[in-house]
Each structure stands twice: as structure tokens, then as C-alpha cells.
A and B are shown apart, each in its own frame.
Chain A
Amino acid sequence: MVEKESSVKGLGPGFWPFTGILTVLAIANIYYWAVTPLSRWMPTAVTVATQIDELFRAFLAVGIALFIYILGYAIFFSVVFRARKEDPPDALGVQIHDNHKLELWWTILPTIAVLLISWASVRVWFPIQIASASTPAGLVVESIGHQWFYTFRYPGINGEVTGNMHLPVGQAVTLNVSSEDVIHSFWVPAMRLKQDMVPGLINVMRFTTDRVGRYRIICTEFCGVEHAVMNKQYLVIEPKAQFDAWYHGWQVRNATASNALPQVSSAPVDLSDGSAAAGQVLFSQKCSACHAIGPFTQRIVGPGLKGVLHDPAHPNLLSGKPATPTNVADILQHGLQGSYGQMPTQVQNALTDKDIANLVAYLNSLK
């Protein structure tokens, strides 16, 4: 049985007027992205960000225009070519199988579009990832990811810088990133740049700062239970004079810090041969800024630590665990966050396992 086949005049009713409407919308969209800088939503802090934004805007212009046509024709054809009540129940659509000319065009045009997209991408990609490697390094800074904060190393400053990362404005920077534990990521949305911080690997970011401001540094690789709040530090881009003042402050503060990377393991520290005398020296260097050698109530930042292991009034530590050498070592190793503020970790304090054993021996000797 041959059913009733329908026929369509030309491209169907209203095709060209509707195509005109879609084209007007598409052009309006392209114009919008041509004149709207993305810094409206997110400022740019480095020079490459502007070039990356241009690529973004090109993609937005072309991508949304393409979507306007796809959505438009899907709806338009659905409406125009819907089966109607008056149609016989066995009515058929136009029995066409293909149109080689049309199919050739919609293979060739996307191919050209892909070539253009490739060209536009490579044009931005090449200077960021390849050419920049052969230009002068500028200021070389290191950032190391930890669970769950960033530390920084600057040439001429001993040890690690904690807190915010400062850079002078108008400065070419090479930022080497790595990690000390799991994979983290160094993302400053205002830079439009991101690199994963992979343990055992040094990844490089190169950029030139061009706008004064405070920009959030955000971790985008899942790194553990506090991953979501690994966004509390800022990249501070400031005039050279302010940067220099900050830099000298850290030079003085870290004058005696060790440049050796601390030996870190998550295994419990071996406390068997700690030296109380060595611990006493360390305590004055590393701990006395926040802890007094006095009763529990003699608080500076943290509580006084005299008799911390032998105080019948305080059988438990602030971590909630019994006051034993092992549990004290645990706090020294992993830090503590609580009502008394934040106790830094072993890494932040640049303590070796041996240092911890010495400190615990010293604290244990205080009765």
C-alpha cells in the first residue's frame, strides 16, 4: 500500500522571513560580544587575559549564533511541518533521502569554521605556552600547594612566604607551581590562567601583571576535606614601592629561616630520642610568638604550655584527645583549628620530624 505523500513548495512557508529573523538575532548577538568586554564580569589582571578574553568573545559570538539557528530551525520546522487534524491519518512527509550539495556544504562550512577556530586558538596559545618560554624569565616565584593552603618562595627571601602572594604591577613573572602532598591547582580567575600543582612535577605559568588589585587564588583540583575553602589567599598586585616594602618585611622576618624543605610524612613521628635541650631552643624560635611558658590561662594566641602534659586540671588537649606525647606530636604535625585560632602545621612551621620529637621532649620536661 502506498500512502499519501506531501509536497512542499520551495523551502516551505515562511522559511526566508524566519531565516531573516534568526539572522538579525545572530548578528545582534555577534555585535553584542564584539563590544562587550568580559571584564564587566571578571576583571583582568595580566596582559594575556585580554587576549584570552578576545578568544572567549569570538567563541561566544559564533557559538551562540550557531545555537540561535539550531534552536530556531528546530522549533520552526516543528511548527510548520506538524501533522494537522485535517491531514489523513496515513499522510507522509516529503520523501527525500539526501541532498548531496547541501551535505557537501554543511561539511565544508564547519570544516572552514574549525580551521578558523584552530587558527584563532593557536594564535593565543602560542605566545602563552611556547613563545613565552624563550623570553626573559622576569621575576621567578614558586608556589607550593599544601592541604589546604598555598605557600610561596621568592628569590632573596629565606624559607617560605605564607599568607597572600604579592607581585609588583607591570612585572614579567615566571611562576613555578608544584605540590607537597596531593594535586592542587593554582587558579586566579582574573588572570584567566590555571595550572595544576602536581607533586613531583613543576608546572610553569608565565604572565605580565598589568592591573593593581587583590585577586583570589582558588584551588580547582579536589584535594581533600577542606578543598572548598582553599580560596582564602589573594594575589596582591601593587605598585613597585609597596611591593618592595612587603618584600623587605619578609626578608627580615625570614632572616633565620631554613631553606631546606621540611621532611614530611603523614606517619606518626618517632618520639623515642627527642632532646629537651634542643627543643627549648626551637621553642624560643618557632613557638614563643604564640605560646607562653606559663599556666594554661596565660594566653598569647594559643594557651600557655607549662605542664601541658602534667596538668590535672586539663587532662585533655584542645584537640579533645588526652594529653599524651603522641597527641601533642599530632598537633605539631597537622596543626589545629579551633576556638583559640589556628595552630600552623609542621609544614607551615618548617619543622622536621626530629624537631617535633625535640619539642615534645621539651614540653614533657616542663612540670
Chain B
Amino acid sequence: MAVAATHVGGGIADHVHPEPQGFIRRYVFSIDHKIIGIQYLITGFIFLVLAGLLAEVIRTQLMNANGGFVSNNTYNEVYSIHGSAMVWLVVIPLMTGAFGNFVMPLQIGARDVAFPWLNMISFWMFPLAGLMLFSSFLMGAPVAGWTEYPPMSLQGEAGTSMWCAAIFLVGISSTLTGMNFMVTILKMRAPGMTLTRMPLFVWAQLATAPLSMVATTALAGALAALFMERQFGVPFFDPTKGGSPLLWQHMFWFYSHPAVYIMILPAFGMISEILPTFARKPIFGYKMIAFSSVTIALAGFMVWAHHMFTSGLAPFMQLPFMLLTFVIAVPTGVKIFSWITTLWGGKIHFTSAMLFAIGFVVLFALGGITGIFLASVPTDLHLHGTYFVVAHFHYVLVGGSLMGIFAGFYYWFPKISGRMMNETLGKWHFWLFVAGFNGTFLPMHWLGFEGMPRRVAVYDPQFQFWNRVESVSSYVMTIAILLFFVNILVSLRRGKKAGPNPWKARTLEWQIPSPPHYYNFKHVPTVYGLPYDFSEPLPYRGLDDELTDAPAPVPAGAH
């Protein structure tokens, strides 16, 4: 088959499949990375709405010091599913599954990912896992948070086992996607696209893929053990039977710390595409940004026990984990400084995508700074398990990852749909979201310091004032997200036609029609340089036919 393919650029990147016919093969069980990316996008947004509604249940309960909106037990179920869903069904699938799938192969000049069928299987595990996770509400959902520490999780109701199975399944999906992307990026780049000519979003996906592959397997092991202990009494974690509760914590965080980087590295990549495009100047310090992504990914494997400083590690073990965590501040700082310097001397166009990108840099920086407080053992002894931690990771995951997702969505929506988004609604979305976000999460820093523990359905009345500020702000955030979805629906129907390259961006995906054809490129292009030199001619050859009526490439085996 491959031999029969038409070779222009050469290699497996040039292999063309016949376009599938019929609705099911095209849009349901599709093997096209673009359709799969859109499937991830839609499914991820549905779970974002569901998990976001759960967040509003949390905030409504916390409006009053003595709760009263839902029962304590329901509250515990709600925040557990909120956290699990946001991590595994929203941020990770959107970062890798949605944007990785749609954008990455286009940016490297490939016709698809390396293993399209595997890609389809990976996708379909994800909504199934989501249904399983939410179905745990029917049988008594888990209550011990997204971390599900045993022995508490051994006491949980039947839904806790369903939680194990659901996360296991979505974990396999994530592992397979990581493998798929790694092979795709390493093997299927267009001729001439050396590693140091790759767009930074591709670098970010390349740094993320091994994290998904290696770390997620540790999680799978932990989940299998917890499931077996709960269902069959195999004593991994119960100390009264000879198990160790800390074993779970090590295995869980060996995954979940790298998972933090799975959730943020792709956003780093998006920001590194968006800032230069709208500042009309090259990204500042390309090599340092690419290199620091890889450094962060590697170092991310060696810091997991900083989540366990109060758990009972041998005291001397705290030292290397504390110091290695501090080290991550250096490459992170390099990125933030590079992004801000990219703004310097630009001709900045404040599109919605750009606003979210700049907002990302600032809010993520604050989340990084509070990370220092938690990485240092003496201050963590006070802050661990408090609302300060809740504030910190929401700055990273909402101010960081979710803002990145919004930025990426506004940026690539014209490519995905062929239409422009409404900029006025987009700006309302941005400002309401930023105001609501800071109102919700900023006060949590001092609430945590002053003694408010996390995961509580009721709390000391002295904290009620700020909790009310937070709850009201969270409703503002919800309105902002509502505007976002209204914007999507309106723009899909009435949005201005985008044309191939509305942002005058320089990466490969913008040099072909919006939305791209099934086969992506008529001829696989040849790459001569970095995509960030705005004053130079485009560094590609072989794209002349893309926007003309030249015939589509002939599928392999079609003749």
C-alpha cells in the first residue's frame, strides 16, 4: 500500500488514505486526527460544563459557614467528582486530545498521526470513562477527593471502585495518545523540519508525550491495586492487614505530579504560538523555551514527594524533594521572562486569544510563586491541606491551563470551523473571567494561612465573609463561561468567513484552507526555517497548490 502512494516529499508522512464515506465512518468512528480533535473538544467541553456545575454546588454550599445547600456527604461526593473530572476529563483531554490532535500533525506537515486507528480507540475510551465516572453518583460516589487516599477510600461506597475503573480507562487512553504523538512527532515531520525548526506547540507536545506514557502507568498500577483491595480484599494499603497507606501516596503522586505538567506544558506551547503572532515579532528565546519545556518535564519526575512532606517521610528524604522542586523555578522563570520580553517592542493586537495569552502569563506566574511556599518544607508544614493549596493549584490549572485552553480555542477556532469568533463577546468573556477568577481564588490564600482546611462542607464562621466574596465571584466566572459557549454557537452559524490565515500566522496549519481538507496538504511541504520570522518570506516550499484548484492527492491503492 505504502509503495503505491504518491511521493512528493517522501516518507510515511506522504501516505494518503482514501477519504471515508458515510456519517459513521466520517464523524463517529473517524480516524482523521482533525475530527478526533473536534470530538475531544466537544466531549471535553461537555465535561467542563458538568464539572463546572459541580464547582458551583461547592461554592453555593460554602456561601454559609454551616453549609445547608447539600448534605455533608453529597458535598464530599461533589468535590471529589469535580476534581477528578476537571483533571482527567477536561484539562488533560483538551490539552493533548483536542489541541494536540487537531493542531500538532498540521504544524509538522503530516497527513495524520502515526497510528490513526489507535487514535480513534484512545478517543472512544474517554467519553466511556467519563460516563463511568459520573455514573458513580448512582452507587455512592467517592468522597476522598481526587487523590482518594486509602484507608479512607477503602471505606468509600461502591462508586469508589467505579472511580478506579473510570480513571484507569482514561489513563490508558492518555498513555496511548502519548505514545501516538511521540512517534508522530519523531517520525512524521515534513522534510526539512528538524527538531529545532519545530513550532513551540509541537515541542510542548513532545515534552508532554513521555510524561503521559511513563507516569500514567504508575497511576494504572495504583488504581488496579486499590480496586483489588476494595473488591477482593488484597491488602495493599490497609495497615491492619500489613499494607501501607503511604504506598498509594507514592504511586499516586509519581503520576500526579508529572500530570501537572501534562496539564500545563501544552498551554506553554499555545502561548508561545499566540504571543508572537499577535505581537508581530519572533518568539523571544526559542531555544530556551523549547529546552526549558524538556527540563521541566524531566525534573517533574523527581519531585513527587513534595506532596507528602507531612505524610511521614523520613525527614532526610524531604531535603532532595524540596531542593529539586525549587530547581524547577529556574526554567519556569525563563519561560515567563521570555514571554514578557516577546511583548516588548511588538505591534500588539489585542484579540481575545492574545488577552487570554497575556492573562495566562500573569496568573500562571502567581501560581508559580505560591508554589515556592508549598515546596519549602517549613512553610508547607503550615500550609499543607489548607485552602492555600486550593488557591495555588487553581491559579495553575484555571489561571494557567484553562486560560490557555481559551486562548488556544480563540486562536484556532477559525482554522477548525472556517469562521471567526465574535471579538466583543470574547473580550467580555476575558474580563469577566479574570475578575471572577481572582475574586474566587485570591482570598483562599489568606483563608488557608489563617486556618481553613480544604475539603470541608462547613467551616468556622470567621471565614464566612471571604467565602461569600468567593462564591459571588464564582458566579461571575460562570457567566463568563456561558458567554464563551454562546459565542461559539453564534460564531459557528453567523461568524465571518475566516479564510486560510486570518491572523497572518506563520506555522504550517495557517497556510492551508480553513477548515483543512481531509488529507491536510496537497503535497507535503519542505521546511527551511523557523516559523517566527515575520519580516522574512515563509520558510516553506511545496505549498503553492494549497489554495488553488489543483487536484487532491491520490489515495494509496486507489488506482
Most A CB within 10 A of own CB, among B246, B318, B329, B345: B345
A226 contacts which chain B residues (CB < 8 A)? 72
Q: How far is the CB of B81 from chain A (nearest CB, A)?
A: 14
A99 contacts which chain B residues (CB < 8 A)? 284
Known: A185-B385, A192-B381. A200 touches B345 (CB 8 A): no
Q: List 4 A-B pairs, minimum CB-CB distance, nearest first.
A: A200-B239, A220-B385, A93-B281, A94-B345
> Of the 9-residue stretches A29-37, A114-122, A166-174, A248-256, which lies at the interface with chain B?
A114-122
Give Cα A4–Cα B455 distance, bound, in whole angstroms: 56
* Residues from 350 to 400 in B contacting A, C-beta threshold 8 Å: 350, 358, 361-362, 365-366, 369-370, 372-373, 376-379, 381-382, 384-386
> Of the 9-residue stretches A64-72, A136-144, A235-243, which lies at the interface with chain B?
A64-72
The contact size tier of chain B is 35 or more
Residues of A within 8 A of B (CB): 1-3, 5-6, 8, 11-12, 38, 41-42, 51-52, 55-56, 59, 63-64, 66-67, 70-71, 73-74, 77-78, 81-83, 87, 90-99, 102-103, 106-107, 110-111, 113-114, 117-118, 121-122, 124-125, 128-130, 133, 181-183, 185, 187, 189, 192-196, 198-201, 203, 216, 218-229, 231
Q: How far is the CB of B437 from chain A (nearest CB, A)?
A: 15
Q: How far is the CB of A39 from chain B (nearest CB, A)?
A: 12
Q: Could you tell me if B340 and A92 are in contact, using CB atoms closer than 8 angstroms?
A: no
Q: How far is the CB of A178 from chain B (nearest CB, A)?
A: 9
B512 CB–A CB distance under 8 Å: no
Give Cα A125–Cα B32 distance, bound, in whole angstroms: 54
B346 contacts which chain A residues (CB < 8 A)? 77, 81, 93-94
Q: Could you tell me if A93 and B376 are in contact, using CB atoms closer than 8 angstroms?
A: no
Instruction: Kindly report which residue of chain B lies nearest to residue A65, judged by CB atoms.
Output: B369
B341 contacts which chain A residues (CB < 8 A)? 102
Q: How far is the CB of B440 from chain A (nearest CB, A)?
A: 18
Q: Could you tell me if A121 and B315 are in contact, using CB atoms closer than 8 angstroms?
A: no
Give Cα A66–Cα B337 distance, bound, in whole angstroms: 11
Contact of B310 among A95, A97, A185 (CB under 8 A): A185
Give Cα A94–Cα B344 distance, bound, in whole angstroms: 8
Q: How far is the CB of B111 from chain A (nearest CB, A)?
A: 29
B97 CB–A CB distance under 8 Å: no
B145 contacts which chain A residues (CB < 8 A)? 222
Contact with A along B305-321 (1 / 0, CB 8 A): 00000111001101100
Give Cα A25–Cα B509 distance, bound, in whole angstroms: 44
Give Cα A73–Cα B386 distance, bound, in whole angstroms: 31
B526 CB–A CB distance under 8 Å: no
Q: Could you tell me if A42 and B143 are in contact, using CB atoms closer than 8 angstroms?
A: no
Q: Could you tell me if A63 and B449 are in contact, using CB atoms closer than 8 angstroms?
A: no
Q: How far is the CB of B456 from chain A (nearest CB, A)?
A: 4
Q: Could you tell me if A66 and B369 are in contact, using CB atoms closer than 8 angstroms?
A: yes
Q: Could you tell me if B535 and A125 are in contact, using CB atoms closer than 8 angstroms?
A: no
B15 CB–A CB distance under 8 Å: no
Q: Could you tell me if A42 and B377 are in contact, using CB atoms closer than 8 angstroms?
A: no
B468 CB–A CB distance under 8 Å: no
Known: A59-B376, A228-B72. A198 touches B381 (CB 8 A): no
Instruction: Kindly report which residue of chain B lies nearest to residue A197, judged by CB atoms.
Output: B312
Known: A201-B246, A228-B457. A42 touches B451 (CB 8 A): yes
A70 contacts which chain B residues (CB < 8 A)? 336, 340, 361-362, 365
B348 CB–A CB distance under 8 Å: yes
B549 CB–A CB distance under 8 Å: no
Q: Could you tell me if A200 and B384 are in contact, using CB atoms closer than 8 angstroms?
A: no
B42 CB–A CB distance under 8 Å: no
Q: Could you tell me if B319 and A106 are in contact, using CB atoms closer than 8 angstroms?
A: no
B534 CB–A CB distance under 8 Å: yes
Q: Could you tell me if A6 and B345 are in contact, using CB atoms closer than 8 angstroms?
A: yes
Most B CB within 10 A of own CB, among A77, A87, A216: A77
Query: Can you pick out 22 interface pairs between chain A and chain B where the beta carbons lie within 8 Å of each other?
Result: A2-B535, A3-B535, A56-B373, A64-B369, A74-B362, A77-B340, A78-B348, A91-B280, A93-B280, A96-B284, A103-B288, A107-B330, A114-B330, A125-B318, A125-B319, A183-B245, A192-B381, A193-B382, A199-B240, A200-B240, A222-B76, A224-B152
Known: A56-B373, A78-B358, A83-B349. A201 touches B322 (CB 8 A): no
Q: Could you tell me if B282 and A192 are in contact, using CB atoms closer than 8 angstroms?
A: no
B50 CB–A CB distance under 8 Å: no
B322 contacts which chain A residues (CB < 8 A)? 118, 121, 125
Contact with A along B450-484 (1 / 0, CB 8 A): 11011111111000000000000000000000000
Contact of B385 among A12, A59, A98, A187 (CB under 8 A): A187
Q: How far is the CB of A66 from chain B (nearest CB, A)?
A: 6
Q: Could you tell me if A218 and B451 are in contact, using CB atoms closer than 8 angstroms?
A: yes
Instruction: Kindly report which residue of chain A lies nearest to residue B279, judged by CB atoms.
Output: A93
Give Cα A74–Cα B341 distance, bound, in whole angstroms: 9
Contact of A41 among B334, B338, B450 (CB under 8 A): B450
Q: How far is the CB of B243 from chain A (nearest CB, A)?
A: 8
Give Cα A301–Cα B24 distance, bound, in whole angstroms: 70
Q: Could you tell me if A117 and B372 are in contact, using CB atoms closer than 8 angstroms?
A: yes
